[in-house]
Amino acid sequence: MMETEDHPVVLFDGVCNFCAGSVQFIIRRDPGALFRFAAYQSEAGRDMCARHGIDATVLETFALIVDGKALFRSDAAIATASRLGGLWRLALVFKAVPRVLRDAGYGVIAKNRYRWFGQRESCMVPNADVRSRFLG
């Protein structure tokens, strides 16, 4: 299964604890199961990277594939949060902040995520309840 207009796909670093925690955060706030997920290290992740011109060896950001386009860094974070509904839609106010400033803040976290949050020896394995939302 690949991305569709109905299911945006979050591409993430599968060995990053912060990234895996972010995926769990999204899952808990997405009871309608809108999002699908693929680790950059997975076959589906590498395939999506190739189709969208993403360098799968540079794992500095998660990407959101939605409506056939790839969004990155703060744009991906804002678009993801705003699709969670409820008060998360307020994330759209951050679009008023210039992207260069938003991405600078995002970059600080991205560059330090392994040091601050650690990393796994292998990609996260989703539990049975949400496994169908992860692309191979």
Residue 110 lies inside a defined structural domain of this protein: yes
pLDDT given for residue 122 in this prediction? 61
pLDDT given for residue 1 in this prediction? 40
Residue 1 lies inside a defined structural domain of this protein: no
Residue 3 lies inside a defined structural domain of this protein: no
Mapped onto helix, strand or coil, the DSSP state of residue 9 is: strand
User: How far apart, in Å, are the Cα atoms of 45 and each of 2, 25, 111?
Assistant: 10, 20, 21
Residue 76 lies inside a defined structural domain of this protein: yes
Residue 4 lies inside a defined structural domain of this protein: no
Q: Over 80: is that where the pLDDT of 133 sits?
A: yes
Which pairs count as long-range contacts for 16-23, CB under 8 Å and 24+ apart, including other chains?
16/59, 16/113, 16/114, 16/117, 16/119, 16/120, 17/113, 17/117, 17/118, 17/119, 17/120, 18/109, 18/113, 18/116, 18/117, 19/62, 19/113, 20/120, 20/124, 21/117, 22/62, 23/124
Mapped onto helix, strand or coil, the DSSP state of residue 37 is: strand
Q: Over 70: is that where the pLDDT of 2 sits?
A: no
Residue 124 lies inside a defined structural domain of this protein: yes
Residue 129: which domain range?
9-133
Number of domains in the chain: 1
pLDDT tens-place string over residues 26-62 = 999 998 999 999 999 899 999 999 999 888 777 777 8
pLDDT given for residue 3 in this prediction? 45
Residue 105 lies inside a defined structural domain of this protein: yes
